A and B are shown apart, each in its own frame.
Chain A
């Protein structure tokens, strides 16, 4: 019992540390630096400690210090309770959604089966959708409670966009669930040990729809109409400052990480290296003894998983810095007239194939 507790706490701390401690601050830097490198600029490189700039990494630190010491401003007519609550409702689902994503397989370590997932729920992927639905409340509440026109417009747009895209997102995944026959992300990951059973080969259309809807759910360019700097100042978080403001940012970045993790798990072989089965990996590390081999295989799998996650974060960043924003009506048309029918067609074709096979 105590061992179970220690294992769970260790896994939670690991994921929390990686997400909040590594990805959240680094992604703020990556966003600036990657855009700079892409546009033949140099990017953030001024913040230094004793003349040592670490290619601009200290800018994240400087940002954190600045935002922590900033005044926590609440507008006069704002509904103070909801204004304070909204960033938490945004951030918590973003962190919590990672709980069901397996970042490794099962390993025998010292007679104990280690299972590298925080919560192996039977409902699996539905949990991610549930939390994505909850994140909508954060955005809408932030927009509504600020008592500002820009915020309200941002919140309205966010509610329309996020609710619409949830429909297409849910339908795009059902095809994959039908093929794999399970909702559990751990089982879906385990099936993809075979390179030719990766989700991207079985459901390429599903992948494109899911990726599009996920970016739209995350309100990032090209679907950033709730934020829309050029139209709505900063959209739903116009009236936020200091720590609450950075919580929306963190939520956005962590949702990006979660999207990447879910895409990796569903479509890109989870923690597996192509053409390398778990047994092969264990046999390569056999000289290290059974426990050592399992530990090494575990580390390799975790590294592979996070490498894939990093790739998809890079891809989302590249999309963000490549494409212009869709207009509001275009966003809605794309969802209801293109993605939804497409996902339904994909679903029926998948169903037909699954039935006839």
Chain B
């Protein structure tokens, strides 16, 4: 058996892979070959300056004389005063869905607890009536939560969904990030958009 040094490999008649005649080496265009005009820098720098100055002057004129009727095209959101309306696909912090009676839809099956990759969920199950389970305590540690949405995906009762809430996640004390069932409950109407979205995207796996 031949050793695979480069020399012997090239000398051997055995074709490996696509023959070199077909596989033409592609010339990678990395634009290292600047033209003389580009090498002079000055013209290209002026071209760049024109682009930025154009933005500058258009914005300055719009700033000094705001065009009547339509707003200036600024994409900045003044955060605490203005808030974005997030799309239903956004995975904010998970919340529990309440039924019409205001009780959690959760049946404390423990799938989400088992599924959670960050071990953020812990459930204490109890029985309302014989054979009817409910979560006595449902604790979600948002300091551990990674917002993966597996709990929502695995839940057979649509009882936990990712909401569009993202505030209140900055706390000085980690214990304040541990949310109890009462803090997590949301009426079904509030998470309607997300529920519709979830039904659509997970419909493939619904049996």
Give residues in A with beta carbon < 8 Å to B.
34, 37-42, 208, 315, 318-319, 321-323
A209 to chain B, nearest CB (A): 10
Of the residues A37, A39, A41, A318, contact of B49 by C-beta under 8 Å: A318
Are B48 and A40 in touch, CB under 8 angstroms?
A: no
In the complex, number of A-B residue pairs with CB atoms less than 8 Å apart: 37
Are B55 and A38 in touch, CB under 8 angstroms?
A: yes
Contacts A208-B42, A319-B45, A323-B48; is A40 near B73 (CB within 8 Å)? yes
Are A42 and B45 in touch, CB under 8 angstroms?
A: no
| Bound Cα distance A328, B75 (Å) | 36
Contacts A40-B73, A42-B74, A208-B42; is A322 near B49 (CB within 8 Å)? yes
Chain B count of residues within 8 A CB distance of the other chain: 16
Give residues in B with beta carbon < 8 Å to A.
42, 45, 48-49, 51-53, 55-56, 59-60, 63, 73-76
A177 to chain B, nearest CB (A): 23
| Bound Cα distance A323, B46 (Å) | 10
Inter-chain contacts of A315 with B (CB < 8 A): 49
**6 interchain pairs, CB-CB under 8 A:** A37-B60, A38-B55, A318-B49, A318-B56, A319-B45, A322-B52
Are A318 and B42 in touch, CB under 8 angstroms?
A: no
Are B75 and A321 in touch, CB under 8 angstroms?
A: no
Inter-chain contacts of A323 with B (CB < 8 A): 45, 48
Are A40 and B59 in touch, CB under 8 angstroms?
A: yes
Closest to B59 in A: A37
Contacts A38-B59, A40-B55, A208-B42; is A322 near B76 (CB within 8 Å)? no
Are B52 and A41 in touch, CB under 8 angstroms?
A: no
Inter-chain contacts of A321 with B (CB < 8 A): 52
A280 to chain B, nearest CB (A): 31
A145 to chain B, nearest CB (A): 36
5 closest Cβ pairs, A-B complex: A322-B52, A37-B59, A38-B56, A42-B76, A322-B48
Contacts A40-B74, A41-B76, A42-B74; is A319 near B49 (CB within 8 Å)? yes
